[in-house]
Amino acid sequence: MKNLAVFCSGFGSNLQAIITAVKKKKIKANISLVVCDRVDAFALVRAKKAGINIYVSEPENFKDKLSYERGIVRVLKKHKIDFIILAGFMRILSAYFIRQYKNKIVNIHPALLPSFKGKAAIKDALDYGVKITGVTVHFVDEKIDAGPIILQRAIAVRDDDREDTLAKRVHKLEHTLYPQTIEYLVRNKILLKGRKVRVNK
């Protein structure tokens, strides 16, 4: 079975959805590790409750980004991690890190990329006035929110949506789309050719 490391920084609702999918055997893989950059993240409570190994490492405690990331890579190697699942991890990984796990890192983004990259995607989509938004799961490369797209799902924006109401539907969608993508990933159903991704369901 493949070993997953889930990277989080905050609430961890996607982590929870992945934990549940693994428990229900919808994803046949081990969540071997949760990596977190904040001691106070609620995601850690979820990981502890599920009995998952945790590696908490705050970048402030390292002299630079490289030594911070080297610390993470050491732990990932120790746990023989096959795939890295970014789930609300609020840090940009360097080219060094990405090279270590080329095409093995995925991320979920709460908008239809390449629109609304960055941290405030849901608000940005709402403020822009789009009628359709959604969720994207993509491979992670050196550029931010720009790697090859694996899967996307769309939802309609309602006239009376506020950020919180729209966010609720976006997150609900994330919680099915991300476990589904990971299931394809661990079964080797995702084929990457250049920027193009084919999912053999």
Binding site for ligand GRF (CB under 6 A): 8, 10-15, 87-88, 108-110, 171, 174
Which of residues 73 and 120 has its CB atom nearest to ligand GRF in the complex? 120
Cα first-last separation, the chain: 19
**At closest approach, how far in Å is the CB of 67 from ligand GRF?**
25
Active site residue 175: no
- Using CA atoms, how far apart are residues 21 and 163, in angstroms rounded to an integer? 27
**At closest approach, how far in Å is the CB of 178 from ligand GRF?**
8
Which of residues 87 and 112 has its CB atom nearest to ligand GRF in the complex? 87
In the DSSP assignment, the letter for residue 131 is S
User: What would the two tokens of residue 78 be?
Assistant: 């120790």
Which of residues 70 and 91 has its CB atom nearest to ligand GRF in the complex? 91
Residue 182: count other Cβ atoms within 10 Å of its Cβ: 28
Asked if 37 contacts 10 with a C-beta cutoff of 8 angstroms, the reply is no
Q: Which of 109, 138, 171, 175 is catalytic?
A: 109
What dihedral do alpha carbons 139, 141, 146, 150 form, nearest 10°? -10
- Directed axis angle between helix 163-186 and helix 121-128, to 10°? 130
**At closest approach, how far in Å is the CB of 193 from ligand GRF?**
25
In the complex, which residue's CB is closest to ligand GRF?
Answer: 88
**At closest approach, how far in Å is the CB of 8 from ligand GRF?**
6
Which of residues 171 and 187 has its CB atom nearest to ligand GRF in the complex? 171
Asked if 124 contacts 118 with a C-beta cutoff of 8 angstroms, the reply is yes
User: Which residues are identified as catalytic?
Assistant: 109
